[in-house]
Amino acid sequence: MPRYGAFSVFDTDSQKGDALQTTIHVMRHGEVDNPDAILYGRQPGFGLTPLGKRMAQRVADVLVESDHQITGVVASPLLRAQQTAAPTARAYKLPIESDKRLIEAWNSFEGVAVNKNRAMLAHPKYWKRYYNPFKPSWSEPYTDLVSRMTAAVSDALHKYEGGEVLMVSHQLPIWTLRSFAERRPLWHDPRKRECALASLTSFQFDGATLESVTYWEPAGDLLLQAEDMVPGTSDAEIATADEDDANKSKAMRTN
């Protein structure tokens, strides 16, 4: 079980004995319209697909129907994040605040069609980029991601103390923030990131003390229809695999 605590980066004005409960929901954007299967990174103009918009609307609907009291909506300035935040902002009649600290990590492979053929990343011409996987050497350093993401969360925690905030960001920044909060190594296998499209990683605070981290997928059933996927795991994929295994076992028993 992860050990949480009062990290110095999470700071509020609450004094001991009068701390308020605050929840920061850090959401990943929905599916992106990416017909050329490139690593789009921070490139402008990559909006959501119709399915991605359905994912964003689903999250807004679930938040309202489950009586979450959203008091602030903050998003990365990239189009896909702004579009993902829009349904929740409309539902709660709130403006969308842009925060560049929530932006996608920079990556030296930006613009390359790596999603068409990931095997291309093993080509010798790229080997020199991989000299330090712990930093990592081909992308924004994990420590920089932690610094800017925790600063963004700290500011939201201070501004919306006692409420609930939706912050829309991107997979790697969110996963790195969660790894830091749960005191795990920041370097990792990208295929094992638990941060699916339109998922929420919710940080519950008692004052400045992080009490728990919860991961959930309000639009999980829509993930199986998505075409623009990057490495990672999801509850939907796990459930489907379990169902497939169960069906195979059933078939074996009946044969």
What is the domain partition of the chain in residue ranges? 21-254
Q: CB of 93 within 8 A of CB of 68?
A: no
Number of residues assigned to the chain? 255
**Residue 242, pLDDT score:** 47
**Residue 159, pLDDT score:** 97
Q: CB of 31 within 8 A of CB of 49?
A: yes
User: 164-169 and 96-98: which strand pairing?
Assistant: unpaired
- Confidence check: pLDDT of 66 > 50: yes
- Residue with more model confidence, 238 or 128: 128
- The first and second tokens of residue 160, run together, are 């919306």
Q: CB of 78 within 8 A of CB of 103?
A: yes
- Confidence check: pLDDT of 198 > 90: yes
- Confidence class for position 237, pLDDT limits 50, 70, 90: low
Mean residue pLDDT of the chain comes to 87
**Residue 119, pLDDT score:** 86
- Confidence check: pLDDT of 78 > 50: yes
- Confidence check: pLDDT of 6 > 50: no
Query: Partners of 22 in the beta sheet?
Result: 205
Q: Determine the Cα–Cα distance for residues 61 and 213; give it in Å rounded to an integer.
A: 22
Q: Percent of the chain having pLDDT more than 90?
A: 69
Phi-psi region of 183 (alpha: psi -120 to 50; beta: other; left: phi over 0): left
**Residue 221, pLDDT score:** 94
100-120 pLDDT per residue, tens: 999 999 998 988 988 778 888
Indicate the pTM of the whole model.
Answer: 0.86
Q: Determine the Cα–Cα distance for residues 3 and 175; give it in Å rounded to an integer.
A: 17
On the question of a cis peptide bond just before residue 133, with omega within 30 degrees of 0, the verdict is: no
* CATH code linked to domain 21-254: 3.40.50.1240
The 3-state secondary structure of the chain, one letter per residue: CCCCCCCCCCCCCCCCCCCCEEEEEEEECCCECCCCCCCCCCCCCCCECHHHHHHHHHHHHHHHHCCCCEEEEEECCCHHHHHHHHHHHHHCCCCEEECHHHCCCCECCCCCCCCCCHHHHHCHHHHHHHCCCCCCCCECCHHHHHHHHHHHHHHHHHHCCCCEEEEEECHHHHHHHHHHHCCCCCCCCHHHCECCCCCEEEEEEECCEEEEEEEECCCHHHHHHCCCCCCCECHHHHHHHHHHHHHHHHHHHHC
